[in-house]
Amino acid sequence: MQSQVSEIDPVTVELQMQVPWDRIQKGLDETFSKLQRTARVKGFRPGKAPRHVIQQLFSRDVKAEVTSNLVEESLVEAVRKHEIPVVSRPVMDAQPEIAEGQPLSFSVKFEVRPRIEELATQLTLTRPSTTVTDAEVDAEVETLRSQHAIIRPVEGDRPSAKGDIVVIDHEVEIDGVARADMHGEGRTVQLGEGRILEEIDAGLVGLKTSDTKDILVERAPEDSNPELAGKRVLFKVTVKEVRERILPDVDDEFAKDVGEYTSLAELRQKLRERLEDTARGRAEGALREQAVDKLVEANPVPVPPSLVEQQFRSMVQEYLQLMKMIGQQPDAREAFVEELRRRAADKVRAALLLGELARKASIEVSAEEVEERFRDIATRTGKHVAKVRADYAGEKRESLETQLLEDKLVSHLLTLATIEEAALPQG
């Protein structure tokens, strides 16, 4: 068998093949002989039809089978011989046909992993600040106040204000057409919380119990919800009740009420420590993401289109599932789709670069490291380690090993990088 590889571009190669006639003849003889032993031919007992009869009846099918087998076998041999880093299925311009006494010639194209001669790993990273400000502690205290607030109907004729809770019934018209499916009763809205449209939130301020109001919302043409994009949405609101939130005073008694704290000072200290732990975890995660982003930025290698397409489709599927889960319409704008495709290309590029780093630095995941992770999972979940091991069979184990390898590679990147500290926040 003869084979020759030529590069079309950094991620595509063409493999030209020629299978000699003696190998073709051998394949034909073996296939005809096997068929002769099993074929049922009218006028002959099973397996007794002469060879020339079998050839007349089944020549086309046998040649097609032998051709397919030879193409597959020779491709496997050539890929191994030339050490081609294939990442896609072969594409053949024309199906070859067997001609008596002639070699079988054909060519295929593959997408391949790009050659990375030099891998830039001397990265400069910035570690996010983990300092917690007094303002952040104050915000946590306010969250606790809100969680422990007393909610009661407003007294007298005071109209609703930011921070109040209003209970409303509403009807909806879109471009003048009533939408019964969007009708709502007894809906609870906290004003100023930011969970509803600004126009509705602002329109509900200043209303009293039993007040009615029409609130018009003009949706932009590029709205992510195609059903509402560029349309006039009218909300006909009736206020059923206005409630106010009475926040507790911030003192030592408040600290005792919200947890096992002896004083407000102890509460604030514990909140600060918790925020610092969270900040350290967030900073470490951000630093690791930054390391991968910088690796991609420093090594602008080409990526195989088929891998990008696979990654893009996977990300689209995940996005659609998320939108369905949270009950939102997916964003179909061209700019969003292109951004998703760009991110897919970056994820593929990152995987290729990390793979190259693993080869150059001889980094791999050992069986003991996998077992250690199984033990960690068993401890967290309360399962026996044998049950965890069984749960992570097949593809799930491969996914775990991939994650472990990526963690080791990113940790290695961090040891090579220059890490600067971010400026401290003000306040």
pLDDT recorded at residue 243:
94
pLDDT recorded at residue 18:
92
Q: Which CATH number fits domain 277-421: 3.40.50.300, 3.40.50.2300, 3.40.50.11720, 1.10.3120.10?
A: 1.10.3120.10
Using a 10 angstrom Cβ sphere, with 0-12 exposed, 13-18 middle and 19 or more buried, the burial of residue 265 is exposed
pLDDT recorded at residue 247:
92
The pLDDT tens digits of the residues spanning 174-231 come to 999 999 888 999 999 999 988 888 899 999 999 999 999 999 998 888 777 777 788 8
Range list for CATH 3.30.70.1050 in the chain: 2-111
For residue 106, give the amino acid letter: F
- Cα–Cα distance list, 13 to 86, 113, 418 (Å): 9, 10, 38
Query: Domain 2-111: which topology?
Result: Alpha-Beta Plaits (3.30.70)
Residues 291 and 312: their CA atoms lie apart, in Å, by: 22
Range list for CATH 1.10.3120.10 in the chain: 277-421
Q: Which residue from 8, 15, 6, 5 is spatially nearest to 302, judged by alpha carbons? A: 8
Range list for CATH 3.10.50.40 in the chain: 150-246
Residues 224 and 201: their CA atoms lie apart, in Å, by: 20
Contacts of 425 (CB under 8 A, 6+ apart): 129, 131, 133
Residues 217 and 417: their CA atoms lie apart, in Å, by: 51
Taking the chain, what is the end-to-end CA distance rounded to the nearest angstrom?
A: 74
The pLDDT tens digits of the residues spanning 128-185 come to 999 999 999 999 999 999 899 999 999 888 999 998 999 999 999 999 999 988 899 9
Residues 168 and 209: their CA atoms lie apart, in Å, by: 9
Residues 301 and 398: their CA atoms lie apart, in Å, by: 26
Q: What is the CATH number of domain 150-246?
A: 3.10.50.40
> What pTM value is reported for the model?
0.72
Q: Please tell me the number of Cα atoms within 13 Å of 238 on its side-chain side.
A: 9
pLDDT less than 70: residues of the chain: 424-427
Residues 20 and 26: their CA atoms lie apart, in Å, by: 10
Residues 75 and 85: their CA atoms lie apart, in Å, by: 13
Q: Taking a C-beta distance cutoff of 8 angstroms, is the pair 61, 18 a contact?
A: no
For residue 42, give the amino acid letter: K
Q: Taking a C-beta distance cutoff of 8 angstroms, is the pair 302, 10 a contact?
A: yes
Q: Which residue from 129, 91, 80, 98 is spatially nearest to 27, judged by alpha carbons? A: 98
